[in-house]
Amino acid sequence: MCGIIGYTGFREAKNVIIECLKKLDYRGYDSAGIGIIDDKLQVFKEVGEITHLEKEIPAMSGDIGIGHTRWATHGKVSKENAHPQISPNKKIAVIHNGIIENFKKLKEELENKEHTFTSQTDTEVIAHLLEEYYEGNIEEAVFATLKHIQGSYAIVVMCEDEPEKLIGARKESPLIIGVGDNENFIASDIPALLKYTNRVIYLDEGELCVITKNSVHVFDETKKEVTKKEDIITWNVKDAEKSGFPHFMLKEIFDQPDTINQALRGRVSEIKQTIDFPENVEKLLSNGTDSIHIVACGTSYYAGLVGKYIIEQICKIPVIVEIASEYRFFSTRNKSSLVIAITQSGETSDTLAALREAKNSGCKTLAITNVIGSTATRIANGYILTQSGPEIGVAATKTFTSQIILLLLTALKIASIKNTLGSNDLYNYILQLKELPRHVRQILDNSDEIKRIAKQIKDSESVFFIGRGINYPLSLEGALKLKEISYIHAEGFAAGELKHGPFALLTKDTPVVAIVTNDPTYNKVLANIGEIKARGPQVIAIADEHDTEIEKHADFVLRFPSNSTLLSCIPITAILQLLAYHVASLRNCPIDKPRNLAKSVTVE
Ligand code: F6R
C-alpha cells in the first residue's frame, strides 16, 4: 500500500527521498509528498507520479526528511489528502501507512478543542494529537499519541524543534530501519534502501525507533529499550531495476529461469536424491502428514490451489485452500493440520490475520514468502523463502512460479517423511524439476508468437480461460493476470462448468483460452472445446508440443515442452503471463501499476 521513507544523514535529504520514493511507487501511486527540515519544516505534495512532485520542489539543503507515496484509503486523491500531514502549528509532520479505525471519534474530540482539520484523512488526527502531547520530546509525544490510536499503522514522524531525529513506529504494517555509515533510514520496504545500504533492522509489533544520522534506538511498548539484530539483505540494486526491459513485469517474467533455479538451490540434491530445506522446517512439516490447510490471497491463493493438486497427488493427504480474508469465518480448526500461509510480500493484512488466528488456535504454521524478516516470517512457526529477489511489477509473476516450486518441494519432503514415495519417483521429480528453467526459457523464446496470438484478443470485451484438474487454478490465474493489467474482463472456469451457467455469457466475440494437457481429462477438455466452438468463439489452446490432435479442435495453439503433468504448470504459467502482458502492452496499459491496485495490501 503506501510507501514510506525517512532519511537523516550527510546527503541532501530531498534527493535521497525522491530517489527512494521512485523505488517505492509500486506500493501506491495516486499522490506523493515530502517533508524536509531546512531550518524550518517544509512540506510539498502533488497528485500523480513522483516526477510531478519532483518538479515542484525547490532546491533545499536540509539533511533530514520524510517522503510518502499514497494509496488512498480515507479521503479522495488530492493534494490535501497526500502525506505528510502536519500539526496545526506546522512544526510536526507525519507519514502513515495503515488505517486509524477510531479516527472519527478522535477527530470529533479534537474539533471540540478548537482543532481545525484541512484533510479528510485518518492520518491528520495523528499530527494533531502529536502537537497536543508535545512537551519538548517528540518520542514521548509519539508514545502518548499511540496510546489513543486503534487500528494499524507504520508511521514516521519529525519535528522542527528537534531537527536531528526521526521517530518510527509500527503496528500491523511493516517498517524497517536501514543502517548506514553516518546516515540512517526508516522505510516501508527493502527496495527503497538498496542503493544506499543492505543492512536492515526489522521493527517488531508495537516497537518504536528513534534514529539520528549516527544512532539507532528501538523501544518496546513499555518504553524499554530493546537490542535488535541487523540483517544483511542479499538482493542488489540491479534486481530492483528494469535492466533494459520496457516494464518490470516483463523483466520479472524473463527472470523465471533464474528464479526457479534459486528456489531449487540448496534444497534439491540430485546426487543424494533428497529434498532438504536449509530453513530447518523438517520437524514442522511432520505436522503436515495428515492434512494441510493453505491460506492466501489473490495470485498466492491460486498458487495454493495449484499446491492442493500437487500435494494431494504426491502425498495422498487432504488439502483445504482458503482465501485468507474468509478464513476467520471458518468454524472448524483442525489442530493436527499444518497451516501454510503463502504471501509474496509477507505483509498482506488478511493473510497475516489468518496466520495469527491459526497460530492462536493451536495449529502449527508455516509461511512461504519472498521477504526475509517480513511479518509472516515472524508470526509463523517456520518459513521457507522463494528467493526470487524483489518483485516490483504489481502483478505477481516470478514469485507465483516459485511458490508453486516450494509447494512441490514441500509435498516431496512430506512424502519422504511419510515414506510414501518410491525413490524412483523422487528421482524422476528431481530430474524434471531440473529441466524446468530450460522449458521456461523455451516459452520466453517464443514470446513473439504469443504476441501474435495476443493481437487476436486485444480488442475483446471478455475472455474466458478454462482447464481441468491442476489447470483449473491456472485458468483462474491466467484470467486474473489478464484482467488486472489489460482491464479486459476475464474469467477462469473449470472446463466442465461452462455448461452450468457461464455459457449464457459466451458469444462469438468471447475468445476462450483452453489449457489442454495429456492427462486423463484430455478427451473431456476436447469435448468442452467442441461445445464452445459450436457457439462461435475462437479457441486458443495451450497444449503439449507433441499433441498432434489439438490443431483439429482449436483455432490457435501455443505449445509448451513435455514434462510431467504436474510440472507443466510452470511453463503453462509463463505462456499465460506473456499472453496477458502482450495484450496489455498492445492496449497501452500502465502494466507495472494498474489502476486502483497496489503491490502489497496492508489493510484488511
Ligand atoms: C495479483 C497479485 C495479488 C497478490 C495478492 C497477495 O497479480 O499480485 O493478487 O497475489 O495481493 O499478495 P501477497 O502474495 O504479497 O500476500
Tell me which of 601, 602, 604 to substitute to probe ligand 1's pocket, judged by most ligand atoms within 8 Å of the beta carbon. 601
pLDDT in tens, 485-506: 999 999 999 999 998 998 899 9
pLDDT at 559 over 90: yes
| Whether 469 and 422 share a structural domain | no
Q: Kindly state whether residue 602 falls inside one of the protein's structural domains.
A: no
Is 153 a domain residue? yes
Pairwise CA distance, residues 501 & 58, whole Å = 59
- The SS3 assignment for 96 reads strand
Distance (Å) from CA 484 to ligand 1 centroid: 11
Atom of ligand 1 nearest to the CA of 302: 10
**Residue ranges around ligand 1 (CB below 6 Å):** 297-300, 343-345, 348, 351, 395-396, 480, 484, 600-601
22 Cα: distance to centroid of ligand 1 (angstroms): 21
Residues 476 and 394 in one domain: no
Ligand 1 centroid from CA 597, angstroms: 10
Tell me whether residue 419 is exposed, middle or buried, using C-beta atoms within 10 angstroms of its C-beta: 0 to 12, 13 to 18, 19 or more.
exposed
pLDDT exceeding 90 applies to what percent of the chain? Answer: 78
Looking from the CA of residue 345, the nearest atom of ligand 1 is 15
Question: Is residue 604 domain-resident?
Answer: no
Per-residue pLDDT for 28 more than 70? no
Does 253 share its domain with 402? Answer: yes
What nine digits make up the cell of 113?
478543542
- At 253-288, the pLDDT tens digits run 999 999 999 999 989 988 888 899 988 899 999 877
What is the C-alpha separation between 176 and 207, in angstroms, rounded? Answer: 11
**Residues near 115 by beta carbon (within 8 Å), at least 6 away in sequence:** 88, 128
526-545 per-position pLDDT tens digit:
999 999 999 999 999 999 99
| 105 assigned to some structural domain | yes
Q: Which residue of the set 171, 213, 364, 599 is catalytic? A: 599
Which three cell numbers, joined as nine digits, stand for 311? Answer: 500435494
Residues 270 and 216 in one domain: no
Tell me if 603 is assigned to some domain. no
CATH code, domain carrying 344: 3.40.50.10490
pLDDT digits (tens, 9 = 90+) for 220-265: 999 999 999 999 988 877 777 787 899 999 999 999 999 999 999 9
> Which atom belonging to ligand 1 lies closest to the Cα atom of 344?
14
**Residue 475: pLDDT above 70?**
yes
Predicted confidence band of residue 423 (pLDDT cuts 50, 70, 90): confident
Distances from the Cα of 126 to the Cα of 81, 123, 132, 174, angstroms: 14, 5, 10, 18
- Verify that 420 and 503 share a domain, yes or no: no
Q: What sign does the CA torsion over 601, 26, 197, 6 have? A: negative
Q: 479 and 404 in one domain?
A: no
The last residue of a domain, from among 205, 238, 271: 238
> Cis before residue 590, ω within 30 degrees of 0?
no
According to the model, what pLDDT value does residue 444 have?
Answer: 96
Phi/psi at 378 (5° precision) = -85, -30
Distance 600 CA to ligand 1 centre (A): 7
The single residue listed with the C-alpha cell 479457441 is 539
Q: Is the pLDDT of residue 465 over 80?
A: yes
Mean pLDDT computed over 305-331: 92
Question: 58-67, 71-80, 170-179, 305-314 — which is least confidently predicted?
Answer: 71-80
For ligand 1, mutation pick of 297, 477, 600 (most atoms within 8 Å of CB): 297
User: How is 197-255 classified by DSSP, letter by letter?
Assistant: -SEEEEPPTT-EEEEETTEEEEE-TTS-EE----EE----GGGGS-TT-SSHHHHHHHT
Which of 249, 344, 577 for a ligand 1 pocket mutation test, highest count of atoms within 8 Å of Cβ? Answer: 344
CA distances to 187, 457, 458, 513, 515 from 490, rounded to whole Å, are 36, 11, 12, 10, 15
pLDDT (tens digit, 9 = 90+) per residue, 155-214?
A: 999 999 999 999 999 998 889 999 999 999 999 988 889 999 999 999 988 999 999 999
- Higher-confidence residue of 303 and 504: namely 303
Task: Take atom 5 of ligand 1 and give the residue whose Cα is closest.
Answer: 298
Enumerate residues 6+ apart whose C-beta is below 8 A from 114: none
| 329 CB burial (10 A radius; 0-12, 13-18, 19+) | exposed
Compute how many other C-beta atoms are within 10 angstroms of the C-beta atom of residue 290.
13
Which of 441, 470, 502 is the endpoint of a domain?
Answer: 441
Give the per-residue pLDDT at 236. Answer: 76
Distance CA 107, CA 73 (A): 17
The CATH number of whichever domain residue 8 belongs to comes to 3.60.20.10
CA distance 166 to 215: 11
Specify whether 234 is located in the same domain as 165.
yes
* Residue 195 counted as domain residue: yes
Q: How far is the CA of 440 from the centre of ligand 1 (A)?
A: 22
Whether the per-residue pLDDT at 603 is higher than 70: the answer is no
Highest mean pLDDT: which of 333-342, 417-426, 479-488? Answer: 479-488
Q: Give mean pLDDT, residues 395-415.
A: 97
Question: Given the CA of residue 298, which atom of ligand 1 is nearest to it?
Answer: 9
State the pLDDT at residue 68: 95
- Do the domain assignments include residue 463? yes
Among 2, 20, 297, 569, the one annotated catalytic: 2
Residue 260 CA to ligand 1 center (angstroms) comes to 19
Q: Is 91 a catalytic residue?
A: no
Distance CA 185, CA 179 (A): 6
| Strand extents, DSSP E, 528-603 | 539-544, 556-560
Instruction: Residue 543: give the domain boundaries.
Output: 446-591
Closest ligand 1 atom to the C-alpha of 394? 8
152 neighbors 98 (Cβ within 8 angstroms): yes
How far does the centroid of ligand 1 lie from the alpha carbon of residue 71, in Å? Answer: 16
**Lowest pLDDT segment from 52-61, 143-152, 362-371, 581-590:** 52-61
pLDDT at 136 over 90: yes
Give the distance (Å) from ligand 1 centre to CA of residue 300.
6
Inform me whether the pLDDT recorded for 290 exceeds 80. Answer: yes
pLDDT digits (tens, 9 = 90+) for 359-387: 999 999 999 999 888 899 999 999 999 99
Total number of domains constituting the chain: 3
- Ligand 1, from 345, 392, 483, 487: best to mutate by most atoms within 8 Å of Cβ? 345
298 Cα–ligand 1 center, Å: 5
The string of DSSP letters for 204-219 reads PTT-EEEEETTEEEEE
Is residue 145 located within the same domain as residue 18? yes
Query: Does the annotation count 599 as an active-site position?
Result: yes
* 562 C-alpha to ligand 1 centroid (Å): 29
Which pLDDT score is estimated for 601? 73
Which pLDDT score, from 0 to 100, does residue 27 have?
64
Whether 302 has a pLDDT exceeding 70, the answer reads yes
Once rounded to an integer, what is the mean pLDDT over residues 122-136?
96
Atom of ligand 1 nearest to the CA of 301: 10
Mutation probe of ligand 1 site: the residue of 26, 301, 348, 402 with most atoms within 8 A of C-beta:
348
Tell me the one-letter amino acid at 259. Answer: T
Q: Quick one: cell of 387?
A: 528467493
Residue 452 sits in the same domain as residue 560: yes
Per-residue confidence (pLDDT) for residue 527, from 0 to 100: 96
Reported as a single tens digit per residue, the pLDDT across 2-26 is 889 999 999 999 999 999 998 886 6
Atom of ligand 1 nearest to the CA of 299: 10
Is 598 part of a structural domain of the chain? no
Domain final residue, candidates 238, 263, 278: 238
Question: Does one domain contain both 426 and 487?
Answer: no
Q: Do 255 and 379 lie in a common domain? A: yes
Nearest to 211 by CA among 197, 194, 232: 197
- Point out the ligand 1 atom lying closest to the alpha carbon of residue 601: 11
Indicate whether 144 pLDDT > 90: yes
Residue 199: Cβ within 10 Å count: 17
Whose alpha carbon is nearest atom 16 of ligand 1?
343
pLDDT the model gives residue 1? 66
Clarify whether residues 422 and 483 are in a common domain.
no
